[in-house]
Structures are given as C-alpha cells and as structure tokens.
Structure 1
C-alpha cells in the first residue's frame, strides 16, 4: 500500500494533461474564430466605404482600388505559401498570419489617430458659431484665399490613403495561411480521414456566413459619430456630412486577432504520433498511383528531396502546366468563373453605396439591406446548392446545364434592377459638370448678394421641394440653435428651410430588394459547379496546380480589377463633387440616379452574360471530352470483361 500513492498521482497528472492537450478539434475551433473575424472584416470594409470616401475625399475609383490591394497581397502570399510552407511548422505560420492581421487592423485605424475625426476644413463646422458664419447669408463676407487649407487637405488625404493601402496589403498577405495552411494542418492530423470533408466544410462555411456579421457591425458603427461622444449639434445620421466611427471596427478586429494568437502557439508541428512530413506523404500517394518516370523526385533520397522541394515542385508544375492550358473544358470553365466573380467584386462591393444613393437611405440602413441580399441570398443559396450537388451527384455535363440556366437568371435579375429605382434629388441651378461655384451662384437671383462664393462645403437645405447647395445659397440670414433650423431665408419668402436634400417619396427599395434577393438566390444555387468542373476535368496529380491556377486567374482577372472597373463607371455618373481644392477630386455627393442605376446593373449583366457564354462553350467542349472519372470507369469495366472471358464461363450480356 505504500507504493500506491506515488503510482496513482502521476497517473492523475497524466490524465489532467491529456484533457487539456491540443487537438484537431481545438485547432478547428480556433480557426473558426479567426476566419469569422476575417470574414467580418471583409464585409465591414465594404459597409464603411462611403464613410471613408466622405472623410478623406476618396472617389469610387480610388475606393475600388483600395479594396483591390487586399486581393493583390493575398494572391502573392498564397502563391509563396503554396511553395514554401510544405514542411514547416504550420500552426506557427498560421499564428504569424494572425499577428500580421492584427497589425494590419491597427494600421487601417491609424489615420484616425494621425488626422483626427474630421479634416481641417470640416473641423470648424463642429463648432456652432463657425458653422453659422460659414453658411449664413452675409453681404459683407470677406473672400479669403484657401490655398493654404487646400495644401493641408490634399496632403492629409494623400497620406491617409497611402496608409489605408498599406493596411489592406498587409491584411491580404496575413490572411493567406487561413485558407491554405490551416486546411492542410486539419487534414494531415486527423486519424479518421472520413471526418476531413466535414471539418473542412465548417471552415469554408464560415467564409460564407461571417460577412453577415460585418454588414451588421458596419450598420451599428456607422450610426456612431466618428468621435463617438462629441457629436456636433448641427449634424445628424441622415446628413450628408455625417461620418461614422469607421475606425472602431478595425480596433475591435485587431484585439480579436491578438486574442486568437495565444491558443495557436500551443499547437505542435504534428498532433499525430507518427511524424511524417506532408511532402513525404504526398510522394507515397503519388508513388501508388503513378510510374517513377512521371515523378522524378522519387529517385532522390529523403534528405535531398527536402532540399529540392521548392525546385522540384516548380519543375513539376512547369511540366504539368501546358497540359492544363490545352484542356479546353478546364480553361473555358475558369473564364466563366472569372466573369462570374464580378458579382462579388463589383456588384456586392458597391451595393451598399448604390442603395444609399439610389433610395436615399443612411449608411447603416443600406448596410442592412446589402447584407440581406449578399449574405441572405448568395451565401445561403451557395450552401444549399452544394448540398444538392452532393445529394444528387449529377454528372458534370448535367451540372453545367443547371449552371447555365441559373446564371442566366442572374442576367435577367440585373436587367430588372436597371429598371427599378428612384429619381435623383435636384439641386437648384446645379450644373451637370464638375462644381464651379461662380457659375453656380450667379444664376440664383434671390441670394445673389449673399457672397456665397466661399461657401464650398455641401450642406443642402430645401424649401417647397427645391434644394439649395447651402443655407447661404438659399439666402438664409438666421439660425435657430434650439430647433436646429435656418430661418429668414430670401429664397423661401423670408421663411425657414428644411435641412438636407428633398427627395420624392419612393418605395421602390422593397421591390428592388425582393427581386434581387430571389434572382440571386436562384442564380447561385449551382455556383459550386465551377469548382466541381475545375477539379473533375483534371487528373488527381494536377488538382493542386489546377486549383491554384484557377484561384490566381480569378483573383488577377476578376477580384482585383472588379472594384476598380465598377468604381470608374460609378464616378462617371457623378453630378457634384465635394471638393474646394483644384487638385483634390474629393468624393461625390450627388449622382445622376438614372445613369447610376443603368450603368451599375447593365455592367453587371454584361459580365454575367459573358460568364454564361463561357459556360455554354464549356458544355459544348465537354460533350467530346472524356473526364478522368469516366476513364477510370471504362478501365474498370474492361478489366471486368477480361476476367470473365479468362474464366470458366463467359457473360453474354453487357449492360
């Protein structure tokens, strides 16, 4: 009995250690949290885009390029990780990516710390006295030169935009391990490989549903003023000069990323007892399915293979690549996938801005509606379609027919969207050109003597369905601080005016959201066919290269240029730019709603129609194409017939 105590105590300690030991499930939960943060961030940036445009005078084309820098960093990083991270400590690489993600979030919030909540010109408007002096009708107003303020504002906007670019590139680079290295680590460390599809589908599904949190968060945060507490009395959520606390979300994401680093540091290189590198395991798989002549790396020793991993993989990729390019089914499917990606990179990116502009809603309401369309229809539809493809397992050719039909529904949906909309608010004597204050005020006889030349801040007011650029342009000579209204306005028969733009009552938003939701839901049901065709049209040893090539092509030709192309098209529909400086383009405050509606949806329909044509071509090629899985079935069938022929009897009927 004296020996029982020292024997039992270590066992209890061992059991307790085993309970808290790292496992695949723990790693999975940690990565689900990380991917949730990343997916939330991606949608959040889209949700606050109009706030960034207002704060730093960014045009839609520049904001589109800002989003594209994320994909540029991500594409380069994914390629490098695919070659260099094969035999490395995968959890540490993932932890490094999480740490760099946290840094990128704080970099994105840095312009708030460096330049404050408002620009130097707008800051004075936070103080009521200055606000009144800048907007009141004053015949004795002194015309001052604003060159110094222009120089400061241009520098501020330039450096802020550069910092945001750096943050986006870092975020793209840092996110590369999340959908590559993390997937490999989970798959390699599962003893029961049948669980792998389920575990990996959990990670993929988080990418689909996490953006819902991003739109929800942006809807809440954009209702908070940029300073959170010190809100000017003359500004409200529905005002055009309202700027939400855009920076707050980045700080939250950065803190979440920092919290996720800690558990990742405790995971070993391999969770399974046997320690074999992914390269060696891949070589064993290849050895079982291919001849030695097809894999020259297997001729070298284990140590030499580790040294030549990068060069060997690069050489193998170069050898296999011409075969992929000659595969017409594979290439036509990638082209269709590329054009189809403009749904996300173009339409969904600017959907919140479109709803806010077209239907006159605040940024928070626009984010909510955009989340319903983008996540409620597209994400749910894609997940449901993946389930249907798994359950019924149609042949590649039948799946292509389903994809053609559903993608054509998206084209029709865009054409419907080009019809449903609201009229743009009309500003009194506003010229359809870049703003020219001198020409603008000379035509307003009622406020001709108010000296409004220097009133360059767009602060619209309205009276009897007529909009004016500012209270000065309406001839207002008094401001009621209690009611926060302008009074004694010459253009309003010496009466008061309402703040903000007057817009005709329009309830088309409900028709628009309903039609887009249903159309995109049906149209994305068989989107996973693209992935299915890419993987089934190549041999097993070509799948990694094929998927990498497809992802890179889609990023370079779809996700990267998409926001820039749509941003450029949207800028062409601008009627009034908010900028007093000649070299600072500024942001658009009034669009030609009809032109915006038509160009936005017809461009989307054009890209989607090209995607449909590409899939039709893919289907035509597939009719004379033998898929690898069909080759395997034919080989098995021939072998079966030979065995029967060599036996004691012969089967006469073949079915």
Structure 2
C-alpha cells in the first residue's frame, strides 16, 4: 500500500525516441511487454496471498476443535502472520529496491507457499480425529441394537483414554505450533510483495497508468477472499479424515460443536497455487532498459550518486521520524487508525465463529455466505470510493469529511445487530435445571443429578442428545438412558430417567443423537444479519481511498512514504497482533462447557453463553469504532482549521507580493 518515489516523478517529462523515418515515443506506449507480464504475475500473487489469508480466517473454529485449544491460542496463531511480517518489513522495504526486485518478490512468494504447506503438515503427522460418542460403542451394522449406557461402559471409556495417554497414543506435543510457524513464514514472505511490487510498477509505468495498475492489484486482493471463503466452505463440509474413514460411520453433523472439517485441504490447494505464482518471477529481468527513465535510473554513471542518496536518507531517518511524531494531526490520525483497525481485526477474525455460535449455522454455510455476500460489498465499496474521489476531486478537508461520514454511517448500521440474537439452547445442568421446579443455581455443580447419579458419567463427555422434552443433555449417560436402538446417526436412546423427571411419562422418555434444533427465527435473523453486515461493509469502504490519501497529504511531501510505513507498522504492532489474542481470551470467558483432551487437560469449548458472547463482540467492536470516530471528528476539525489557515496565509502573501505571485504562477503554468 506504500507509494515509493517523490512527487516530482509525476511532473517529470520523458524524452522521445526517434528511429529513422518511423518516429515513436515511449510515452505513447502503455507499457513494455515485460511490465505487462510482471503486473499479471504480481496480480496473481496478490490473489493467492489474500485467498490464503481469508481461508485462514475461515478455519479458526476448525483448528480450535482439531487441536483442542482455546480461542486465545487460536488468536496467537492468527496474529503470527503479523509477527512474521514485522520481523523483516522494514529491512525489505528500505533496502529491497537496491537488488533484483522481481527475484526478491519471487523468493518471498516462494516462502509464502512453503509456509502455507507447512500449516497443513500437522494433519499428516497426527493420528485420526477421535470424538467421544455413545454411537462408537455400536458396531453392529444391523438396524436394531441394544446397549447399556450406564457405569460399566463409561468407566471403560475413561480407562481406555487414560491408558492411551500413558502409552503415548495421543500426541503430547502441541502440534499447533507447526501451524503457527507456517503462518510466521507466510508473514515473512509477504513483507516485500506490496512495497517492492508497487515501486517497480511506479518506476516503469507511465505516470497516468501507475495508479490504475496499483488499483487493479488491490482489486485482485479483494477478489481473493471471495474464493478463500468459498474454499473454506467446501473444506468445512468435508470430514477432516476424508479418504481414511467411512463417511457413513461419522455420527456427528457439521452443525455439531465437535465437527472438524478438512481444514488442511485448503492449505494444500492455496500453497500449491502460491508456489505456482512464485516460479515465473525468477525469470524476469532486474530492470527494463527499453524505458528511458529506467535506463537513466540504473545507468552506471549514477551508481555513486545513488549510493550517496542512500547514505543521506539513512542519516535523515531518525530526524524524519521525530518530525512525523511531533505532528499533532498525524498523531491523531495514527491513534484513530489503531482503534479502527482493532475493531476491524476482531470483526474479520471472529465473525465466522460468532455467526456459528449465535445462529447455530455450520462453518461451511457461514463461510460460503460471507464469501459471496459480504466480500463483494467490500470490493464494490472500494471501487465506488475511488470513483467518488476522481469525480468530485476532493481535497484534504473533503476527504476527511467523507471518511467521517462513512464511518459514522457504518456505525449506525451496527446498532440493529444487538436485536438480532437467539437464545441459548436448553442444556440440562448448564443453562436449565434437570427438573422444571428447581432453579439453576450453580452450573458447575449441576451436571450430575439424582436421575443420573448412579451412572458414573464423566464430566468431560460431550455427546449431546435431544430429549423428547425439548431439552439437550450433554450425553446419553447424563440423560440417564439405559438402552439404545439403531446404529450410527439413526440411534435413539430409551428409558432415560432424567427425561422422565421432567414430568413426562415413561413412554415419552427417549432421546436422539445431536443437540435440539434452534427456533426457526434464528435462520431468518442470520440472513438479516448478513444483509446488514454487507451494507455496513459497503458504507465503511466508501472511505478507504480518502482515508489512505489523507496519510499522504497531512505530512511534508518528502515524508509521504515514511508516513505510510509508520502507519502500517503501528497498525500491526497495536492492532493486528494483540486484537485477536486479547479478544480470544475474552471469548474463552464466555464458555459454559469446556471439552477435555485425551490426557485430561482443557480442550476446546463446546458451548458458549451466546448472550454474553453477543454483547462482548458487538459491544467491544462498536465501542472501539465510536472512540475512533470521536478522534476522527477532532481530526477533521483540525484539518479544517489547517486548511483555513493555509488559505488565509495564501491570501496575505498574494496581497503583499502580487507581482511575485503572478511570476510564480506563470512559471508553474510553463
């Protein structure tokens, strides 16, 4: 997103070339064939890196369940990309232009592809995914079976889990670290793609076409998430051990909190695509000598001059930093950007998880609808934003006002979110008591009741069944069932004493596998939420182009590139890294029922308090945006005052030195 180079480049005239009788000008050419190839390859790189980034966001809940880790740990994995990026972005952006830029970009894309493939590696070194279920005890393929769910079976299950842990059958090492390491490599590889790629285009393209080409790159960067979320939807609908287990033997559905899709498959696909994008970049030239500007820039006679300019830049680095950080308007811009980016990071990371928990939707359906509804709204908003800037030729004050208006309007669109909510499902001992007449006092102490006290039910089990009373029980054992009929997903449990204690007759005391369904209104609210979210994204993105240009216009012209670099650095340090981690820890606080890994440690959360989750998610995002927009309003007033002062100063100078102003105007026109 940085634009390297001085403003003089946009006013510099380029020489004309003559060849015999055929007179041609380099200015008449759109760009050289090599530059066209480079732009096409770089656009494909932008597409693959944004595809992988969106796919990573779509697999958050799948990774959490597969590795039995809390949301805070998943936040660390998500933020590791920014960590890797910060390690090298300054070095690559500052010194990368001195070397072979296409090869450096190719090496970075190659590293991204390797890191993406490494993220899929744990699937191939871990054992098959196992989940606790009463249906696993029923291996008879006949249509009718009967088995006991009381203490003998459950005690055997506990003994098998403990013995398996002692024998080392279950991985004791945190293999999720491999996913984190691969994501760090992705961040390191991505560091030079944007700065070096856009500076290369700006060096060799016509001034009028440079901005167009860079806009096309960002367009491909927005198209990538559409395919990323669609790929995430497809992989989430497939069972994690696809090809290794009989799909009919899987007793859980994608709506189940234990379901893990083929999260690794998308990393293999995107990793191979990224490697494919990296290889051709190695065969591009370092420079394009057919361009006169390029020949002049890289002429050997200018090598010493270029070295001196680098030295001078190095000497002026810290004074330039100090000059920027003492600019009050720029500081307001930084703080407001950090608050807004924190809200953005939380939204883009945890929206799929929020929709799954709040509306009871599967990860596959959620990812697909985000990809085909919300992401296109973002792309359209960015396109219209650029058109508005070009059509109305907005200045600094007009850009600030547009950003403030679109930001406040998008915040208003969030308010209806609070009314779009579903209630927690009734889970005995967790959200409702085992008997109607008894109030739920202590959730942690009510998992066992007189109706299942003799069953020996372990607390870590999560194999929900839906009783005929409309209440979900965390396992057939906790429902007090003593027999089962059928096989696999068609199993029903009978003689459930806890269901009878609800007040039902003995003939109505059965249960079926799976949680009880949510109310039908949840699905309608899910679609309404997506529609409002798309509207909010569109309105907010109307201010993206002016928001970026403001960072170039509120500083001295020689500090434009540095101001953008500091902006990106501050956003990553104070937004991209801490936001997913801290909010993941807050999400963990809303968990009502934790799972347990095979060795007795705390695993992934099976059920959240969606009321608390909703107010925490929406409240924190809207609060961060509100604080950001308050600073943005102060920032806009400061911009207005600055513009008025500049205009008044220009008028005073014109009144005092009218002849000098006319001379300067004539020179400017010439």
Alignment of 1:159 with 2:174, yes or no, is yes
The 3-state SS of whatever aligns with 2:452 is helix
Please, which runs of 5 or more residues in structure 1 have no aligned partner?
1-20, 285-300, 648-655
- 1:214, 1:258 → 2: CA distance? 17
Cα contact 2:430–2:443 (8 A) shared by 1:
no
Deviations 1:19-65 (A, max 9, x none): xx961111111111111111111111111111111111121111112
Alignment of 1:132-171 (within 5 A): 136-141=148-153, 142=155, 144-145=158-159, 146-147=161-162, 149=164, 156=171, 158-171=173-186
Aligned twin of 2:490: 484
- Is 1:544–2:561 an aligned residue pair? yes
**SS of 1:625 mapped into structure 2:** helix
Report 1:593-604 matches (<5 A).
593-604=610-621
1:86 aligned counterpart, secondary structure: helix
User: What is the CA distance between 1:193 and its match in structure 2?
Assistant: 2.8
Measured on the aligned residues, the alpha-carbon RMSD in Å equals: 3.6
- Secondary structure, in 3 states, of the residue corresponding to 2:484? strand
Contact kept, 8 Å, 1:342 with 1:562, in 2: the verdict is yes
Q: 2 CA distance for matches of 1:53 and 1:479?
A: 33
1:450 to 452, 455, 480: 455
Q: CA deviation at 1:369?
A: 3.2
* Distance in 2 (alpha carbons) for counterparts of 1:127 and 1:306: 75
TM-superposed CA distance for 1:638, in Å, is 8.1
Secondary structure (helix, strand or coil) at the match of 1:565 reads helix
Given candidates 569, 585, 594, the residue that maps to 2:602 is 585
Which residue in the other structure is 1:465 paired with?
470
Greater CA deviation, 346-355 or 314-323? 314-323
Change (3 A) 1:199 1:95: same
Map Cα deviations across residues 582-602 of structure 1 (whole Å, 9 max, x no partner). Answer: 873321111111111111001
1:212 to 222, 226, 230: 226
Note the C-alpha offset of 1:305.
5.5
8 Å CA contact 1:83–1:313 kept in 2: the answer is: no
- 2:192 counterpart (163, 171, 177): 177
The aligned residue for residue 80 of structure 1 is 91
- CA distance in 2: counterparts of 1:543 and 1:523, whole angstroms: 24
Q: Give the unaligned 5+ runs of structure 2.
A: 1-31, 433-441, 500-505, 665-670
Residue 118 to residue 124, structure 1, CA distance change in 2 (3 Å): farther
Query: What CA distance in whole angstroms lies between the structure 2 residues aligned with 1:457 and 1:638?
Result: 81
Deviations 1:58-101 (A, max 9, x none): 21111112111101111232211112212100111011011111
Partners of 1:427 and 1:199 in 2: CA distance: 56
Could you tell me how far 1:398 is from its partner in structure 2?
Answer: 2.5
Contact 1:135 1:455 in 2 (8 A): no
Corresponding residue of 2:207:
193
The residue aligned with 1:321 is 321
> Displacement, 1:276?
7.6
The answer to whether residue 262 in structure 2 is matched with residue 245 in structure 1 is yes
Give the conservation status (yes or no) of the 8 Å contact 2:256–2:514: yes
Cα-to-partner distance string for 1:328-368 (whole Å, 9 max, x where unaligned): 22221122122111243101211111111000011111112
1:331/1:360 CA distance change after superposition, 3 Å: same
Compute the displacement of 1:457 (Å): 3.7
Matched residue, 2:514: 500
Report the counterpart of residue 639 of structure 2 in structure 1.
Answer: 622
> Counterparts of 1:169 and 1:463 in 2: how far apart (Å)?
49
Q: In the alignment, is the contact (CA less than 8 A) between 2:346 and 2:579 conserved in 1?
A: yes
Alpha-carbon distance between aligned partners in 1 of 2:638 and 2:98, rounded to the nearest angstrom: 39
**Do 2:467 and 2:511's aligned partners in 1 also have CA atoms closer than 8 Å?**
yes
On the 8 A contact 1:414/1:602 being kept in 2, the answer is no
> In the TM superposition, what is the alpha-carbon distance from 1:636 to its structure 2 partner?
11
CA distance in 2, matches of 1:130, 1:410: 56
Partner of 1:3: none
With over 3 angstroms needed to count, the CA separation of the structure-2 counterparts of 1:441 and 1:357, relative to structure 1, is closer
Assess if the C-alpha contact under 8 Å between 1:70 and 1:172 holds in 2: yes
Q: What CA distance in whole angstroms lies between the structure 2 residues aligned with 1:607 and 1:438? A: 33
Task: Give the Cα separation in 2 of the matches to 1:622 and 1:174.
Answer: 37
Please give the TM-score of this superposition, normalised by the length of structure 2.
0.82
